[in-house]
């Protein structure tokens, strides 16, 4: 996939405390994978390079509001997220209690995300971007190629990759700027995702490789 700052953007899913902070509610499941991949450091490097090299940056966050807890059914991880109050906010129109919460951005990412230039799209509610405005925001800026990173590998990252490809975008996944849960019964989410990235994405690259390409 050709990478340039004319029609290529960096997209990061769920760069939030509940995934990437040691105090986050999923750290016991994802922490080892995050540390081994240096996920936090690599996402920050992508942010820094994108800002310096003139690439647009998009964030697809995950939020749950009190009304979302009225859902009547859900999949395995959906139910877990509701039970542990992952990504919870106090209301769709309120930032009360947001700062420093599990739904908030990792503190070291805030200078990049809150610079009034990064595009923060509507939250996704399960895994993929089908129900938010990501595709619209990309198309309105003539973006057709995506550098994809974030959390978590076999859930929101993979779901975003699949839907964006179905929508006609080209997608490069940055394999060490993501991570996945390890569960004694469900398995290793990161390793599962790597297989599907290789089969499906237009390219799978390391952070070092992507940064070299971005700098041209």
- Domains, the chain, in order of start with CATH, read 8-145+155-215 (3.40.50.850)
- Residue 149 to residue 158: CA distance in whole angstroms: 10
3-state secondary structure the chain: CCCCCCCEEEEEECCEHHHHCCCCCCHHHHHHHHHHHCHHHHHHHHHHHHHHHCCEEEEECECECHHHHHCCCCCHHHHHHHHCCCCECCCCCCCCCCCCCCCCECHHHHHHHCCCCCEECCCECCCCCCCCCHHHHHHCCCCCEEEEEECCHHHHHHHHHHHHHHCCCEEEEECCCCCCCEECCCEEHHHHHHHHHHHHCCEEECHHHHHHHHHC
80 conformational bin, left if phi > 0, alpha if psi -120 to 50, beta if neither = alpha
| Residue 66 phi, psi dihedral angles, 5° rounding | -50, -35
Global confidence as pTM: 0.97
Give residue 164's Cα distance to chain centre. 13
pLDDT given for residue 13 in this prediction: 98
**Residue-level pLDDT at 150:** 98
Report the distance separating Cα 77 and Cα 83, nearest Å. Answer: 10
- Residue 83: count of CB within 10 angstroms of its CB: 11
Give the model's pLDDT for residue 216. Answer: 87
Would strands 187-188 and 182-183 be described as parallel, antiparallel, or unpaired?
antiparallel
Ranges of residues in the chain with a pLDDT under 70 are none
Query: pLDDT tens digits, residue range 123-167?
Result: 999 999 999 999 999 999 999 999 999 999 999 999 999 999 999
């Amino acid at each position: 996939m050709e990478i340039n700052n004319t029609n290529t953007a960096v997209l990061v899913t769920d760069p939030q405390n509940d995934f990437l902070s040691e105090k986050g509610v999923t750290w016991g499941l994802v922490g080892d994978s995050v540390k081994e991949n240096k996920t936090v450091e690599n996402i920050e490097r992508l942010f820094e390079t994108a800002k310096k090299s003139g690439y647009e940056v998009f964030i697809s966050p995950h939020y749950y509001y009190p009304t979302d807890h009225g859902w009547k059914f859900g999949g395995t991880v959906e139910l877990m997220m509701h039970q542990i109050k992952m990504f919870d906010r106090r209301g769709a129109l309120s930032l009360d209690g947001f700062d420093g919460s599990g739904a908030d951005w990792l503190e070291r990412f805030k200078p990049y995300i809150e610079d009034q230039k990064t595009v923060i799209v509507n939250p996704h509610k399960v895994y993929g971007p089908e129900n938010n405005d990501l595709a619209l925001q990309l198309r309105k800026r003539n973006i057709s190629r995506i550098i994809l990173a974030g959390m978590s590998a076999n859930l929101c990252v993979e779901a975003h990759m699949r839907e964006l490809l179905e929508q006609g975008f080209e997608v490069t996944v940055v394999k060490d700027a993501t991570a996945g849960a390890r569960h004694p019964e469900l398995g290793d989410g990161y390793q599962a995702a790597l297989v599907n990235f290789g089969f499906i994405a237009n390219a799978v690259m390391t952070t070092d490789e992507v940064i070299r390409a971005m700098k041209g």
